[in-house]
Each structure stands twice: as C-alpha cells, then as structure tokens.
Structure 1
Amino acid sequence: MPRNQKIKPLPQDLPGVYTCANCSQVLFAAKYKFSVGSGFPSFWQHVKDHVKQHPLATYGRHRIQLLCSRCNQHLGHLFEDARTPTNLRYCINADALEFNQNITL
C-alpha cells in the first residue's frame, strides 16, 4: 500500500496531530484539516513557529513553499483560499506527514 493512502482516508474529526515525517515535530492539529478534493492533505492553520514560509519563483510563477522549521523538510505550498477561517490553505505532501492520535492540541 502506498504511504499516501494511510493519511488521506482519516476522518476530519479524529483527534490528534500531524507531525513531520522526518523529525517528528508537530506541524498541524487534525482539527484544522479539511478536504478540497485535490488529493493532498490540506489545513487552514499550522502550529505557530513550526512551519516556515519560503518564497519561490519557479516555472514562471510565484508561490510560497512550506518547510518544517526544525529540519527544513519540504512540506508543500501555501495558497490563498476564501473557504477557510484564515483565508489560507496549507497544501501538504502526504509523504511529509505522520499522524499521531496520542497528542492533541
């Protein structure tokens, strides 16, 4: 089974956190996860100071890359999204995350 499939099917209301798959730093509370239909885990808020933003200008467009603040692992990208309380969507690569039900925020 591909690793991505173990994260995507989790219910939105399951308590816990998503951590960096590389260093185990807590990145997102599960309560901030939502579905946009893209296939990527998406969140509308991160744990303060645990996700860094890095501007990118690649392929003729400007984006914001998201990195773990502890180990600098690439997590995904940040987009504006009017459907969220923060007007932001953290679009994350499922392979960059691990789910932990034993920690809640």
Structure 2
Amino acid sequence: MHPRPSTMFKNRTIDWAAQSSGEGIYQCSHCGHALFSASHKFDSKTSFPSFWAHLEEHVQFHSLHTYGRERIQLLCQNCGQHLGHLFPDARTPSQVRYCINADSITLLLI
C-alpha cells in the first residue's frame, strides 16, 4: 500500500525563510505559456520542482484514475503539455503542491 500523498512528506519540514524569493516566470517548455511565478517555487524535499500556486488560469486540471488511485494531472492550458500532478500538502500556504516535471518548464528571468 502506498502512503497517502498528504501524509507522505509531513515530517519533511519546509524552511520558508530559506526559500528563494526569485524573480521570474516559469513557462511551458513547449509553447512558452507563463505557468508559475518563481516566488511560488519551494523546495518540497521531493527532488521535483514544486510550487504552491499557479498563474491565473494558465494550468489545466485533469482527473486521473490510474494505478488504483485518483490523482490530478496538470496540463499547460495553451498547448496541453503534461506538467505534473497536484497533491494535497498541508505545509504550503495553499495546502497543495504542484509537483512538476523539470523538463516541462523553463525559467524566464524578469
């Protein structure tokens, strides 16, 4: 049995004071559509780029019922590229974690 995503990382604390307040926009690596603010990125201790919010309506949510569990797949609203998945995470200000495939985003410094 797999641990529930909401409890899997509960003992991995986030040092919010040490998080970068970086400037920039993470955009879709396929079409360049703006997806996430660098200021919403944090180290989730999962080795995946993680964010606690997305920009406007630029990320599409798609329910998945695979591998015997339900997940929310994240897609670029503009081109439909798979970005990653959304998980409950009580450690973040929004109570969710956008767990993103590093190859699906690029950073545009502003």
2:57 to 49, 59, 62: 49
**Alignment coverage as a number of residue pairs:** 92
Structure 2 residues without counterparts, runs of 5 or longer: 1-18
Q: How does 1:15-94 map to 2 (within 5 A)?
A: 15-94=23-102
Q: Which has the larger radius of gyration?
A: 2
Provide, for residues 31-80 of structure 1, a one-character-per-residue CA deviation record: whole Å limited to 9, x for no partner.
00001111100000000110000000001110000000000000000000
| TM-score normalised per structure 2 | 0.81
Identity of paired residues, percent? 53
Structure 1 residues without counterparts, runs of 5 or longer: 1-10
In the alignment, the residues of structure 2 paired with residue 45 and residue 38 of structure 1 have an alpha-carbon distance, to the nearest angstrom, of: 17
In the alignment, the residues of structure 2 paired with residue 49 and residue 82 of structure 1 have an alpha-carbon distance, to the nearest angstrom, of: 23
Query: What SS class does the counterpart of residue 15 from structure 1 fall into?
Result: coil
In the alignment, the residues of structure 1 paired with residue 80 and residue 53 of structure 2 have an alpha-carbon distance, to the nearest angstrom, of: 18
